[in-house]
Structure 1
């Protein structure tokens, strides 16, 4: 919610707000901490470590190549190696291959057993392969570990590709800052720079801290923060953010935030915490694996023991056959494909979104985005530019345009609201502190102050009616500030705020992807809200809302939304409570407030409303791919489990069924990034 929503004048009972509420500073994160427990971290305790000693990918490929060579020797010359005394040659070739390829699985199984976590995919593969070695099927045992390792390499490669999109953010972390002290420039750590210090940023260097440009013109590359490749032109008076790259001129910047509070530091923190917020599907698969794995182990044990008990005089060959069937069942049943591909699908979704300038703070919000059928917008700074300009000055009762503007600038001198700033910008002169006294805000109406020997009020039409000020017009098109001095109407100032370039396209895109409702919440009056809603083609709006009214409005929309989810998009410090209350909160992150960005589940780094539809589509595609992987894995495994239980599938088929499903699932999950 905005601290003050500028409004059009409205007469005779219309509930206008030109309301001067105190704005919180950028460092006040109270609103950000009001978020509900949806943001509590949900760490999974399970050790599903499939790492192969933690080496880099190149080392993994070399080790895998050695195993492939040993495996091919053992497979091609199996008969000759097997016929050596005590099969020594066969063991000498294939046991090293088994240990090299399966050490990660074996050590993980051992560690988990010591921790009391016996039943997982590592345990299944360990007993299946050790069983195969026990019945002298060494090539099959090596094949299980080798193909699993190859599947892991594919997974690591896919994770690496999706991680690149996110790690681009980590690469923009500035290492040094050029601190300017008494005309001298010293290289220091960004963490040691204080608020108000002056720093120098040369062409090609990263901006180390958020700040305001004092001197210099340049173009800055914002792609790491926003995903946009087009450089932005900056000049004195404008804000630059840590992580931007200076491309041309030398910039002198006065810092406005400590490094730990800068935009890039917050983004890094969000990225690092994203993996802790797991989707329900991800949590379900972990829980499912915990129940499924022991069932499979006992079923395999039953397959190995029970059939020979019901046979008359079973031979060693019969017993061997049912033990073999049990091992086949264990390998087929391994839930690796699911355990690997589901988190990878979500990770790909987060990475793919980051690549497009949309930061999703965890996989759980991808699932929520997929179910969104109502998008609710704040107006100023979200759908509109939030850059106000004085377009018309209409003096009355003997006041001139110059005198009216000066009076408005003086009475607005203590406000940080964009409307007040636009009036002071239009005035363009310094305002002495002694000129304005007894400053007082009137919530929902405007402000009152003593300017010289005049008692001045500035605000909406409702303020004029409250103070019984006679005036000539109530209905005015546009955002308006009325002024009166010593009980006499002095005139009005009209201020314009333009729609964002892609706002119309954003609403059109949402309708195209099937979002049923697009609703705007604003403190502006009915006339202004109606004009914006008609321009954009919104399905509804709620106007003249006081700050607490927005929370009540979102509560009502949530009740009316049925099974669908509600997204709220805002950018201001006071939007934080509404962002927190929505099913999925989205913040304009380019120059949005810290509180809104911290509270939001999704941050749009470009400040472009058109990215909302893109974020929803990424959520839907991720959800589709995850469901496809679950169905694929369950169907294939179910089919081969039936074949394995009846002895209709060999260990080779089991290996290809398990690894094949995992590979297909990984490749499918990788589609999200693209």
Structure 2
């Protein structure tokens, strides 16, 4: 809870305590009026100020003006001796409680996105007089040679002029599979150098580099983000002037008609009282409390189901979603590469895996780690010697006195070993023992357990189209999309490409339908911001994605997306029920009040009764059925 919210909570508590104390004190007349105005001003001074500013800015009929008119009407009735000031304070109090709920739900601490963008480099290493000096990336000119050490981020786009290494490109492509880079190849900023020192000649200034472009996309796309206008504000635009002019007409027209047309006494007191009663009845207490509370309860119910929704406007948008766009790695797949099969093995599968694990025992490459993890047993390093890592190809070693080679097709060609092509999707590690082909190991990213079910459930909720955007290769992307039942797939995409594709989809879709994007990586942050609704994976997702998103799935389970949609629609349904019920009773009471059938106490009772029923209905949003 931030300072503003704490201050509001303090005001609510002070006003509530004062109201209770004043009800117990035997005060009358002007003293009673003065004492009751203290809690009224404590709880309502900001509403009064906003209403006054609205009048000055010629935006009169908003919810603040409605609250002020209704409460001042209640105070006027109290001054006339036919009512109670408590109603005015209670109305303001309930309104502020609703506003506090709304503020707390929407105002989940969202820090500046750029502060959490892990890809922003802090420095670049420049060689000066034989020593490495850290300088600001902004100060590095095009053509400067920089040094990127293992574990450091590549600060600026360039070309490798010396060295070879493995790059972690997940920050840019979202794909966990590292990329081998050698002398002469282009390297883009935002990657992490994993294994060896690289000397890079810069080809762009920092401001034009890939990493800067991503940050710019995130910052700029926020301005395009669509937001639903609060219902109360829209409602008040029409409701407030009708009620105010209606009350004015009720106070003036009948007395004037009595005098001018019937020659009767005007009876101003009766009709002014009815007009004030009309205003008190018109106070939208049930709506003001139950609508924010419905959203708040929906957010609470979603929270209990492991879905963090950052505000009521996102619930409203999610309920209208018809198109869902997915990232692949870390969203629909685990993002962790594992041994997925062993084919054409001349040995027992476990034995082939053992030789591969021993040969890869000295490597820090993720593929090597996945092989060792699949073997799952303690390695005897004394069985291995003469390990040689061949850049971009694989490794060779002597295991138990036999020459063992593990790597890609390039390594097999280099060793003149005939190999068998693999039709499976993934990284293929071919094995050769003593110069003879021994089979191959398939390593791939595996789908999340409920990914297929998640897509099927989305269709049941009424989602009309599913799309997948990924930085992965076309063959891999198409196979994953086909297995999951995704309608359309776009592959080999960088963050800027994804934003461009989302922009294209947003332009083509009907205005009343919303587009949701689901992602988990830093590279997804610009798209999460740009989509109508951004959904991030919370357990393994990057801080940037979580902060950029409107909804966070706390356990990374894609099946929760369908549940979130169902929660949002249930919440909207409850809101609409409360609107119809509250307005129906309100209109009936207004008619009775205008004809003098409903007095002030009946009006208050009806208003409070409707409020209680609406609140009880709103609380239903807390309860979420299992999927």
Query: Shorter-chain TM-score: which interval?
Result: 0.5 to 0.7
Q: Secondary structure at the residue paired with 1:628?
A: helix
Which of the numbers 240, 249, 256 marks the counterpart of 1:293? Answer: 240
| TM-score, normalised by the number of residues in structure 2 | 0.60
Q: Secondary structure at the residue paired with 1:386?
A: strand
Cross-structure match for 2:75: 130
Cross-structure match for 1:579: 528
Post-superposition Cα deviations, 1:207-235, rounded to whole Å, max 9, x if no partner, equal xxxxxxxxxxxxxxxxxxxxxxxxxxxxx
Taking a change above 3 Å as real, the CA distance of residues 317 and 654 of structure 1, as seen in their structure-2 partners, is farther
Is it true that 1:480 corresponds to 2:427 in the alignment?
yes
Q: Distance in 1 between matches of 2:525 and 2:370?
A: 24
Q: Secondary structure at the residue paired with 1:311?
A: helix
Post-superposition Cα deviations, 1:370-406, rounded to whole Å, max 9, x if no partner, equal 1122333333322233332235567999xx9777667
Cross-structure match for 1:241: none
Following superposition, the deviation at residue 612 of structure 1 comes to 1.1
Taking a change above 3 Å as real, the CA distance of residues 114 and 151 of structure 1, as seen in their structure-2 partners, is closer
Structure 1 stretch displaced more, 326-335 or 90-99: 90-99
Q: Distance in 2 between matches of 1:466 and 1:343?
A: 67
Q: Secondary structure at the residue paired with 1:141?
A: coil
Q: Could you tell me which runs of 5 or more consecutive residues in structure 1 were left unpaired when the two chains were aligned.
A: 1-42, 74-88, 168-276, 440-446
Q: Distance in 2 between matches of 1:543 and 1:473?
A: 30
Taking a change above 3 Å as real, the CA distance of residues 289 and 477 of structure 1, as seen in their structure-2 partners, is same
Is it true that 1:348 corresponds to 2:293 in the alignment?
no
Which of the numbers 418, 432, 443 marks the counterpart of 1:495? Answer: 443
Q: Is the contact made by 1:520 and 1:542 (CA closer than 8 Å) also made in structure 2?
A: yes
Which of the numbers 518, 522, 541 marks the counterpart of 1:569? Answer: 518
Is it true that 1:630 corresponds to 2:579 in the alignment?
yes
Q: Distance in 2 between matches of 1:605 and 1:131?
A: 51
Which of the numbers 288, 300, 305 marks the counterpart of 2:252? Answer: 305
The aligned runs of 1:511-660 (5 Å cut-off) are 511-522=459-470, 529=477, 532-533=480-481, 535-536=483-484, 538-542=485-489, 544-547=491-494, 550-551=498-499, 554-555=502-503, 557-558=505-506, 561-562=509-510, 563-660=512-609
Q: Is the contact made by 2:309 and 2:552 (CA closer than 8 Å) also made in structure 1?
A: yes
Q: Secondary structure at the residue paired with 1:542?
A: strand
Following superposition, the deviation at residue 346 of structure 1 comes to 2.2
Cross-structure match for 2:323: 374
Q: Is the contact made by 1:378 and 1:520 (CA closer than 8 Å) also made in structure 2?
A: yes
Following superposition, the deviation at residue 618 of structure 1 comes to 1.6
Q: Is the contact made by 2:395 and 2:407 (CA closer than 8 Å) also made in structure 1?
A: no
Q: Secondary structure at the residue paired with 2:303?
A: helix
Cross-structure match for 1:219: none
Cross-structure match for 2:220: none
The aligned runs of 1:132-151 (5 Å cut-off) are 132-137=77-82, 140-142=83-85, 144-145=87-88, 148=91
Which of the numbers 1, 5, 13 marks the counterpart of 1:55? Answer: 13
Following superposition, the deviation at residue 146 of structure 1 comes to 7.3
Following superposition, the deviation at residue 121 of structure 1 comes to 3.8
Following superposition, the deviation at residue 67 of structure 1 comes to 6.1
Q: Is the contact made by 1:328 and 1:651 (CA closer than 8 Å) also made in structure 2?
A: yes
Q: Is the contact made by 1:131 and 1:327 (CA closer than 8 Å) also made in structure 2?
A: yes
Q: Distance in 2 between matches of 1:285 and 1:278?
A: 18
Following superposition, the deviation at residue 327 of structure 1 comes to 0.8
Post-superposition Cα deviations, 1:223-250, rounded to whole Å, max 9, x if no partner, equal xxxxxxxxxxxxxxxxxxxxxxxxxxxx
Post-superposition Cα deviations, 1:558-611, rounded to whole Å, max 9, x if no partner, equal 456544323222223333344334322211111222222222221111111221
Q: Is the contact made by 1:372 and 1:515 (CA closer than 8 Å) also made in structure 2?
A: yes
Q: Distance in 2 between matches of 1:292 and 1:527?
A: 57
Taking a change above 3 Å as real, the CA distance of residues 556 and 438 of structure 1, as seen in their structure-2 partners, is farther
Taking a change above 3 Å as real, the CA distance of residues 502 and 131 of structure 1, as seen in their structure-2 partners, is same
Q: Is the contact made by 2:316 and 2:568 (CA closer than 8 Å) also made in structure 1?
A: yes
Q: Distance in 1 between matches of 2:429 and 2:10?
A: 71
RMSD over aligned Cα, in angstroms?
5.2
Q: Distance in 2 between matches of 1:142 and 1:656?
A: 15
Post-superposition Cα deviations, 1:233-287, rounded to whole Å, max 9, x if no partner, equal xxxxxxxxxxxxxxxxxxxxxxxxxxxxxxxxxxxxxxxxxxxx996242x4225
Taking a change above 3 Å as real, the CA distance of residues 375 and 641 of structure 1, as seen in their structure-2 partners, is same
Q: Secondary structure at the residue paired with 1:575?
A: helix
Q: Distance in 1 between matches of 2:44 and 2:310?
A: 34
Q: Distance in 2 between matches of 1:50 and 1:659?
A: 23
Q: Is the contact made by 1:106 and 1:122 (CA closer than 8 Å) also made in structure 2?
A: no
Taking a change above 3 Å as real, the CA distance of residues 634 and 610 of structure 1, as seen in their structure-2 partners, is same
Q: Distance in 1 between matches of 2:517 and 2:355?
A: 42
Following superposition, the deviation at residue 129 of structure 1 comes to 2.4
Q: Is the contact made by 2:340 and 2:442 (CA closer than 8 Å) also made in structure 1?
A: yes
Taking a change above 3 Å as real, the CA distance of residues 375 and 99 of structure 1, as seen in their structure-2 partners, is same
Q: Distance in 2 between matches of 1:464 and 1:376?
A: 38
Total equivalences in the alignment:
476
Q: Secondary structure at the residue paired with 1:369?
A: helix
Which of the numbers 484, 505, 513 marks the counterpart of 2:453? Answer: 505
Post-superposition Cα deviations, 1:295-341, rounded to whole Å, max 9, x if no partner, equal 53344233223332333386667211211121122112223333333
Taking a change above 3 Å as real, the CA distance of residues 408 and 522 of structure 1, as seen in their structure-2 partners, is farther
| Greater length-normalized contact order (CA 8 Å, ≥ 6 residues apart) | 1
Is it true that 1:338 corresponds to 2:287 in the alignment?
yes
Taking a change above 3 Å as real, the CA distance of residues 525 and 68 of structure 1, as seen in their structure-2 partners, is same
Taking a change above 3 Å as real, the CA distance of residues 97 and 290 of structure 1, as seen in their structure-2 partners, is farther
Taking a change above 3 Å as real, the CA distance of residues 372 and 149 of structure 1, as seen in their structure-2 partners, is closer
Q: Distance in 2 between matches of 1:113 and 1:511?
A: 46
